[in-house]
Chains A and B, each alone.
Chain A
Amino acid sequence: MKKSQHVIPDPNGGWKVIKSGSDRASKLFDCKAPAVHYARSLSKKHKTDLYIHKKDGSVDHRSTYSVKSSKPKSRRSS
Chain B
Amino acid sequence: MDVFINCPFDDSYYILLKHMIFTVLFLGHKPRLALEETDCSGVRIAKIMSLIESSHISIHDISRMRASRKGEYSRLNLSFELGLDFGCKRYFESMQGKKMLILEKDRYDYQKSISDISGFDIKHHNNDSTKLIEVLRNWFVENQLSICKSSPNTIFNNYCYFSADLYDKRKGSGYTEESLNELPIAELTLEMTQWIKSTHK
- Size bracket of the B interface: 20 to 34
Within 8 A of A (CB), among B151-201: 151-154, 156-157, 159-161, 163-164, 167-168, 171, 176-178, 180-181, 199
A-contact 0/1 string along B129-165, CB 8 Å cutoff:
1100010000000000000000111101101110110
State the main secondary structure of chain B at its contact with A. Answer: helix
B15 adjacent to A6 (CB under 8 Å): no
How many A-B residue pairs have C-beta atoms within 8 angstroms? Tell me. 55
A21 near B181: Cβ-Cβ < 8 Å:
no
Interface of A, helix, strand, loop or mixed by DSSP: loop
Decide if B161 touches A6 in the complex (CB within 8 Å): yes
Give the complex CA separation of A62 and B164 in angstroms.
9
Question: Contact string, A1-42, partner B, CB cutoff 8 A, digits 1/0?
Answer: 000101011010000001011110000000000000000000
Chain B contacts to A: CB under 8 angstroms: 15, 18-19, 129-130, 134, 151-154, 156-157, 159-161, 163-164, 167-168, 171, 176-178, 180-181, 199
